Amino acid sequence: MVNQVDLTPLIGGSISHNNDTALSIVYLQQSKIYFGIDIEHIMTLETSKEIGFQIHDLKESGLLCISEASSNLATSIIYSAKESIFKCLYPSIESFFGFEDAKLIEVKENQLIFEMNKENPLFNHISSYIKCKFTVDKNSVTTLCSMNSNF
């Protein structure tokens, strides 16, 4: 019988998928650098109008719409980025939090910068700012963010 070793304390990872693509990223826990990855189909305009207010405020969506993204694309990008942020931060804070706790404050080409809600005690020991990279293809949005948790 082969000895089984629990690798959970040694490695961490993030996964995501849609109907067409599966993504994963794996990292060493001891590095204290965490990653989150997400892929989403671009929402329809109708869906983004129905749920956008739960994902972002007008200022956040406006930052992406200024950069020529349609409102449904903007909502899709912000949703995916906030999903990546959650996946990135969860190993460090070990708790759920809402979309309102990460506010998009800046857009630079394919990079989003979010400010975390410092009034929420969950975020007292992490960086105030999280950067996410994003790519858009014909049907989907992919986001990736990382955080160094050496506090």
Q: What is the architecture of the domain spanning 11-148?
A: Alpha-Beta Complex (3.90)
Q: What is the rounded CA–CA span in Å between residue 138 and residue 5?
A: 42
pLDDT tens readout for residues 40-97: 999 999 999 999 999 999 999 889 876 667 889 999 999 999 999 999 999 888 899 9
What CA–CA distances, in Å, run from 26 to 21, 39, 68, 88, 147?
Answer: 17, 16, 33, 12, 14
If you search the block for the tokens 């910068």, which residue do you land on? 113
Domain residue ranges in the chain: 11-148
Q: What is the rounded CA–CA span in Å between residue 90 and residue 79?
A: 16
Q: What is the rounded CA–CA span in Å between residue 81 and residue 86?
A: 9
Q: Supply the pTM of this predicted model.
A: 0.88
